[in-house]
Amino acid sequence: MTVIPLRSAKRSGPVADDEVMAIGSDVDIVTARQKGRAVARQLGFSSTDLTLIATAISELARNIILYAQRGEIRLGIVQNGTEVGMQMTASDTGPGIPNIKLALQGGYSTSGGLGLGLPGVRRLMDEMEIASAVGKGTTVTATKWKR
């Protein structure tokens, strides 16, 4: 299992019950991003951040369908001192990512897509971490802190 932390991950723990959404079809992508927006709105994120969060969820859900057909996205609230953030964890038991570094380069794709998914999510969110093992699956965790 390779784990690549992408930015200095702050220590944080979930403070509320996580919301788990099963992802298995393109309809679930829409449902997941709407749910994510609703959770982020409750946390008081700005309207720009709501859109960034919803877009990131959309990309992560899309990756699950493209590469693993099914998986889940977990939404949770995290806290670091006085800071509050929203964390999304997209996990699947799909083929895994053979080369994470390559997958994080813009324009690289093994699915015929634009290759913007993972590098895009990294730019949309504040922190991102990928754990992937070939043949076992992938877990992407991304966090947005409330400003």
Mutual angle of helices 47-63 and 26-42, in 10-degree steps: 150
Judged by CB, which is closer to other proteins: 21, or 54? Answer: 54
Give the nearest distance from C-beta 116 to other proteins in angstroms.
Answer: 5
Task: Determine contact, residues 146/85, Cβ cutoff 8 Å.
Answer: yes
User: Rule CB under 8 A: which of 26-45 touch other proteins?
Assistant: 26-27, 29-30, 33-34, 37
Q: Is 106 a binder of other proteins (CB under 8 A)?
A: yes
Q: Is 113 a binder of other proteins (CB under 8 A)?
A: yes
Longest Cα pair distance anywhere in the chain, in angstroms? Answer: 42
Q: Tokens in use for 59?
A: 């990309």
Site string for other proteins, 40-79 (x = CB under 8 A): -------xx-xxx-xx--xx--x-----------------
Instruction: Tell me the site size for other proteins, rule CB under 8 A.
Output: 26
Q: Tokens in use for 96?
A: 């895994």
Q: Read out DSSP for 46-66?
A: -HHHHHHHHHHHHHHHHHIII
Q: Is 12 helix (H, G, I), strand (E, B) or coil?
A: coil
Q: Is 114 a binder of other proteins (CB under 8 A)?
A: yes
For residues 98 and 69, give the distance between their C-alpha atoms in angstroms, rounded to a whole number.
17
Judged by CB, which is closer to other proteins: 50, or 131? Answer: 50
Which residues bind to other proteins, rule: CB under 8 A?
Answer: 26-27, 29-30, 33-34, 37, 47-48, 50-52, 54-55, 58-59, 62, 106, 113-114, 116-117, 119-120, 123-124
